[in-house]
Chain A
């Protein structure tokens, strides 16, 4: 393999004894951030110290916390770690995460061979070339949303004025889901991802969206159009490779993940560019090849909006670069901290589009790595470029200290971003 050799992680002899060496106080994970633009200092300190501590999460489960880049890659790609949230002892990120097991499962919680079976049925829709072919349509959506925002009054909220409409339009158009119902999708997704909610409310929201999409699948099967749901219905329902329920669950995953994560990357990314005016100006003026793609890659690495780590459970004993995880134990890959591991990324804590951020874990790693990542890259490139070019005078309309960051959501971002120009 081509990976650089990794230093050995200190091994904790018995997985049952705790706390970990050099870490006397038990860590509750996740803890609040000290700075809204950086992961919690305690987690960064764990990475710097090189230990793999056991942490306590909301329901008393005590998974291992992996913070180093090379360790996170093993956790996310070794097939002996399962993503099945219904397994007893799974380190769920919150009560609402359990709702994913209450309704038809999506790819997110499937293991192989089931996962690859369903993923491969839709892969052809998500190639780099397919995403590139959607670029003109994405650009038109971005320009339309920017036109409307700029014609309206300033200050405006960039979240509701740009980030959400762009992300929802693109995914609705791609899937063939009516954009008129976007407020329903947004609010149901919010209920599914608000970590203070209950399993029951999140499951009810998920069930409602699942049923909505099952109806839509049935309609598109009879009257196919030029969209993902129609194409997949025509291709796979007849052969039995997929049924209505599974296709609806696939659409649910793409609709919710596809707009919420992208919208958060748009608003938090624009805020990051405003905080780094030289890079904002460079996007407007610069035409160096790769500048835009490099900026987006670095933004993904630097922000890593999956803020509560990606979690798995060990099916067998696994040696993670010298650290033994026993069968049945939970693990968390703190991708936001691993993505700032200076052993892998020279820019570390900084935002520096000049560094090559390729290989970051913002889309995950291993078989579950984000299916829609090529489309997400195109969207983010188009939005950041259009904002830098069309609104060079853009600035936040409130002091940064008044921004409400999404500590309370599964995916990080800002609740509102008041801007003026």
Chain B
């Protein structure tokens, strides 16, 4: 799977970090989402999909074109 971000949408709620800490982090300074792994392992698929679904800003894209990694 491929993960990409629309960081300009991020509102810093942190669901991504709670759902998949292996894949997402938040920048210490400005709180914006950071992608740790653009092609996470299959065993993280559920967690990544959950993060994308819970993100209130729709800032996480899974297997979709158009995001910036």
- Mask: chain B, 50-69; 1 = CB below 8 Å from A; 0 = not: 10111011100010000000
Nearest chain B CB to A355 CB, angstrom units: 14
Residues of B contacting A365 in the complex (Cβ-Cβ under 8 angstroms): 56
Q: How many residues of A contact B (CB 8 A)?
A: 27
Which among A3, A123, A370, A371 is the interface contact of B32 at CB below 8 angstroms? A123
- Residue A211 lies at the interface, judged by CB distance under 8 Å to chain B: no
- Judged by a CB distance under 8 angstroms, whether A17 is at the interface is no
Q: Is B26 an interface residue (CB 8 A)?
A: yes
* Residues from 108 to 160 in A contacting B, C-beta threshold 8 Å: 116, 119-120, 123-129
In the complex with contacts A371-B12, A373-B13, A120-B30 CB distance below 8 A? yes
The answer, yes or no, to whether A393 is at the interface (CB within 8 Å) is no
CB of A2 within 8 Å of the partner chain = yes
The distance in angstroms between the C-alpha atoms of A153 and B26, with both chains bound, is 45
Contacts of A116 in B (CB 8 A): 11
Verify B53–A127 contact, CB threshold 8 A.
no
Q: Are B11 and A359 touching (Cβ within 8 A)? A: no
Residue of B nearest to A129 (CB): B26
Verify A124–B30 contact, CB threshold 8 A: yes
Q: Is A272 an interface residue (CB 8 A)?
A: no
Chain A 364-403 interface residues, beta-carbon cutoff 8 Å to B:
364-367, 369-371, 373-374
**A367: contacting residue among B29, B31, B57, CB under 8 A:** B57
Is residue A21 within 8 Å, beta carbon to beta carbon, of the partner chain? no
User: Contacts A2-B62, A126-B31: A358 and B54 contacting too (C-beta < 8 A)?
Assistant: yes
Q: Looking across the interface, which residue of chain A has its beta carbon closest to that of B48? A: A2
Please give the distance in Å from B19's CB to the nearest CB on chain A: 7
Which B1-57 residues have a C-beta within 8 angstroms of A? 11-15, 17-19, 26-32, 49-50, 52-54, 56-57
Q: Are B54 and A366 in contact (CB under 8 A)?
A: no
A77 near B12 (CB under 8 angstroms)?
Answer: no
**Does A25 make an interface contact (CB < 8 A)?**
no
By the criterion CB–CB under 8 Å, are B12 and A119 in contact? yes
Q: Which residue of chain A lies nearest to B16 when distances are taken between CB atoms in the complex?
A: A128
Selected contact of A358 from candidates B32, B50, B62, CB within 8 Å: B50
A124 to B27, CA, bound (A): 7
CB distance from B65 to the nearest CB of A (A): 14
B30 contact set on A, CB distance < 8 A: 120, 123-124
A125:B31 contact, CB within 8 angstroms: yes
Residue on B nearest A77 in the bound complex, by CB: B56
Complex formed: what's the CA distance from A141 to B19 in Å?
Answer: 28
> A1 touching B28 by the CB < 8 A rule?
no
Question: Once the chains bind, are B29 and A366 in contact (CB under 8 Å)?
Answer: no
With A2-B62, A359-B54, A367-B56 already in contact, the answer to whether A124 and B11 are too (CB < 8 A) is no
Q: List 7 A-B contacts (CB under 8 A).
A: A2-B49, A77-B58, A126-B12, A358-B19, A366-B56, A367-B57, A373-B14
Known A3-B53, A76-B56; further 19 A-B contacts with Cβ < 8 A: A2-B53, A120-B12, A120-B30, A120-B31, A123-B31, A123-B32, A126-B12, A127-B17, A127-B27, A127-B31, A129-B17, A358-B19, A359-B53, A364-B56, A366-B57, A367-B11, A367-B56, A369-B11, A369-B56
Where the two chains meet, the residues of A that have a C-beta atom closer than 8 Å to any C-beta of B are 1-3, 76-77, 116, 119-120, 123-129, 358-359, 363-367, 369-371, 373-374
Interface residues of B (CB under 8 A from A): 11-15, 17-19, 26-32, 49-50, 52-54, 56-58, 62
